[in-house]
Amino acid sequence: MDGHSVTDSFRVVIGNEPRFYREALAGALRLLRPDVEVVLAETAALDDEVGRRGGLVVCSRLSPTIQTQAPTWILLYPEAENRAVVGLAGRERSIPSVEIADLLGVIDEAERLAHD
């Protein structure tokens, strides 16, 4: 036994604003990636969730806690621009005109890195 249980799954913590977008994104991810644990978090509680939930954090504001403690993060629509900024494996990159397929790709990449 390697110490991982069947219930150990990759976690995505969603704490972006507005709440409707957060809930819609969570619903889409639960349908498209049923093997991933999707956790909704209020923006104000997001920093607390980072230590407990690991995995990937989706947010509207990037706090120092998220930036330094989350293994992977996605900052959606910074400065009200249609793009996302991704922090993964210590590197940042921007995704212009972000779509759900882009987010799924980041989740897949982060999940692979987490299991390596």
Number of domains into which the chain is organized: 1
Q: What SS3 state is found at 103?
A: helix
**Alpha carbon 29 to its chain's center:** 11
In a domain? residue 37: yes
In a domain? residue 107: no
In a domain? residue 2: no
pLDDT at residue 64 tops 80: yes
Distance CA 11, CA 56 (A): 6
pLDDT tier at 115 (50, 70, 90 boundaries)?
confident
**Taking Cα atoms as reference points, which of 52, 51, 44, 55 lies closest to residue 12?**
55
Write the pLDDT tens digit of every residue in 71-87: 999 999 999 999 999 99
Domain boundaries, position 16: 11-90
pLDDT at residue 21 tops 80: yes
pTM for the full model? 0.89
In a domain? residue 106: no
pLDDT at residue 44 tops 80: yes
Vertex 13, ends 10 and 14: CA angle to 5°?
135
